A and B are shown apart, each in its own frame.
Chain A
């Protein structure tokens, strides 16, 4: 289970990094492993409002659906459309395959640094 040292993590296994004022969001290696082979990603639309702690989309595996929780409050600036054709990118490259980019960030969830996140994953497992 890899944990990227340059990112922050939410308790629900999303990662965030700031590119200037824009928050980039994805899911961790722990998450993609638990979800199994992903077959589809339901993305929001550019311009949609997202709220910290609430679902902004979901991912589907063959037998299950899981919400994606937004770690920040703001407006969706970009969505990773590649995921629509290749959801497996989330499995193969969870830290490279970002899901959404959020601008006008007004609020952030309580985020964990890599060490705290590692402990959190160990406790959950």
Chain B
């Protein structure tokens, strides 16, 4: 049996005596007899470390580790610089609790302050929180933030990620608020429909940029009608794209959110990921989650501290805007290290290369018989193709240990990042060509 309890049998006896008890069962004398579990748990016997390693390695081997991944849809296979894995693995960063005691946690607090700054820089906003669980919850929290006593309806673009839409819907169900989906037309938010749906009851409009289909929305053009209608504009953005794309601030957004997984986090079968939220100075006090602020100590030294806590659940309790208690600190640290390792030039390169490779793949694939791009328009690093024999194509790629695009609504949603080499893309095209011949 594996155990992390250091005390020996003798020590345990000593300690029981010091407490004035005879046995472990005495410790639980407040537990009604009927509830006390009188049988062993139906679990296997505990294992040694070596055995645990064998069991979990065996489970891991039942998963496929692909040589190339050409599927995105909210989880992206970017190259993770080596140093990014080492720093969050440092035991102090790894095992520390939330930095409530500022005097002994300046390292964590400063790393969050740096992360907040970087998110502000990427999004063009004035304030960022210390992160939330993921991009979908960030969107839902932003929608909640935007509601007030009179305006409760949220409009959500139908071209956003299905999980993001569903999460926004769930949070709105919680507070008995309405969510309306703005239909997509030709793969993008239908602007005419949006204009028709705006009303004095609408608190916010959420649009994803680039959207679920990889297309760039006319996000900047939507800002004016949204604001004229008195609503807030929330943009969900890809952080790698922000290396080259106009900031959500410059596109007219009031709140910028998104999924930070591309910033150095492994795919990990869906998590842990990283939700970022940033907004204007005007909306700062409505931002949920932790925020680190700068101050001084009594000797005048610069110091970082969890601030504006009166927004949060442990103080406001039922009057808090959100119940969120933790962030994804280690993931935010990982993102910070990624951004430091890549720098502004590296991030730009990752964005340009991802876009370039996706366009290359697209160009080559649509040369093949029967393959068509479903939606016209500029796109970032994902695109939806209609292709014959889609299942066989993906199976043929799978056989070569390549994960092809995601089958979606009768088509295939492809993604390419800077990680995939041209030779691999050429090999993919050749395989697909072979199937469609």
Contact = CB atoms under 8 A, between A and B. Distances in A.
Main secondary structure of the interface of B (DSSP, over half): helix
A65 B285 CA distance: 13
Interface of B: 285, 308-310, 315-316, 319
A90 to B, nearest CB: 15
Main secondary structure of the interface of A (DSSP, over half): strand
Nearest to A64: B315
Contacts of A63: 309-310, 315
A48 to B, nearest CB: 9
Contact of A40 (B285, B316, B319): B285
A68 to B, nearest CB: 13
18 contacts: A39-B310, A40-B285, A40-B308, A40-B310, A42-B285, A60-B310, A61-B310, A62-B309, A62-B310, A63-B309, A63-B310, A63-B315, A64-B310, A64-B315, A65-B310, A65-B315, A65-B316, A65-B319
B8 to A, nearest CB: 43
A39 B316 CA distance: 15
A38 B319 CA distance: 18
A42 B315 CA distance: 15
Interface string A28-45: 000000000001101000
Contacts of B316: 65
Contacts of B285: 40, 42
A25 B424 CA distance: 72
Given A42-B285, A63-B309, 16 more contacts: A39-B310, A40-B285, A40-B308, A40-B310, A60-B310, A61-B310, A62-B309, A62-B310, A63-B310, A63-B315, A64-B310, A64-B315, A65-B310, A65-B315, A65-B316, A65-B319
Contacts of B308: 40
B340 to A, nearest CB: 32
